[in-house]
């Protein structure tokens, strides 16, 4: 491992910057030979590796004892585990499934005549909704709308 003094690091970085910022890459500067240019670039790369190694040395990874599966002192609460499991995609699935079941129930009770007469349109709407729910842009737009709506509701509640 090569070590440089602080002044050598600074001069090397300046030299490499002057080489990389020169207008013509084909013709080397008359004061420096091609071998020196290559050595300076290698030295600069070595400096970058030394800085990366120093950054990794500061990052300490905790090592658990043998047989210990987690570093947590106490297990997470059931509410936190549920919130992690019940993510927005599952919420959206629950909403669409509930709406489908309500529609089927209303059609079965003859309270939704459109569904009785146009079953193909309902099925196509379901397929389109399923495809849209898997589209990232649709979900971003949907979440943006929900956030904006709840911001408005929050302001209305706080004013009263």
Quick one: pLDDT at residue 99?
Answer: 93
Quick one: pLDDT at residue 47?
Answer: 57
Question: Are the CB atoms for 22 and 29 separated by under 8 Å?
Answer: yes
Rounded-to-integer distance, Cα 155 and Cα 5, Å = 60
Predicted confidence pLDDT, tens digits, the chain (160 residues): 455 544 444 444 443 343 444 444 444 444 444 444 445 455 555 556 677 777 777 777 778 888 887 777 888 899 999 999 998 889 888 998 999 999 999 999 999 999 989 999 999 999 998 898 888 898 899 889 988 888 877 777 777 6
Quick one: pLDDT at residue 67?
Answer: 85
Quick one: pLDDT at residue 109?
Answer: 95
Rounded-to-integer distance, Cα 116 and Cα 104, Å = 10
To the question of pTM greater than 0.85 for the whole model, the response is: no
Q: Using one digit for the tens of pLDDT, what is the confidence trace for 100-125?
A: 999 999 999 999 999 989 999 999 99
Tokens of 4: 């440089």
Positive or negative CA dihedral for 43, 45, 51, 57?
negative
Q: Using one digit for the tens of pLDDT, what is the confidence trace for 77-88?
A: 999 999 999 988
Scored b (16 or more CB within 10 A) or e, 50-60 reads eeeeeeeeeee
Which has the closest alpha carbon to 84: 76, 72, 73, 74?
Answer: 76
Positive or negative CA dihedral for 141, 147, 153, 159?
negative
């Amino acid at each position: 491992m090569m070590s440089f003094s602080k002044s050598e690091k600074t001069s090397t970085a300046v030299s490499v910057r002057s080489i990389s910022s020169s207008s013509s890459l084909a013709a080397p500067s008359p004061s420096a030979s091609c071998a020196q240019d290559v050595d300076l670039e290698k030295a600069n790369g070595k400096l970058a590796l030394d800085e990366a190694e120093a950054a990794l040395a500061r990052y300490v990874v905790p090592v658990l004892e043998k047989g210990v599966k987690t570093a947590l002192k106490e297990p997470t609460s059931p509410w936190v585990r549920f919130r992690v499991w019940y993510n927005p995609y599952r919420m959206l699935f629950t909403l669409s499934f509930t709406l489908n079941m309500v529609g089927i129930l209303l059609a079965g009770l003859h309270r939704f005549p459109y569904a009785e007469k146009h079953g193909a349109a309902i099925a196509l709407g379901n397929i389109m909704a399923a495809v849209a729910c898997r589209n990232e842009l649709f979900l971003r737009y949907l979440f943006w709308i929900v956030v904006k709506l709840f911001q408005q509701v929050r302001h209305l509640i706080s004013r009263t």
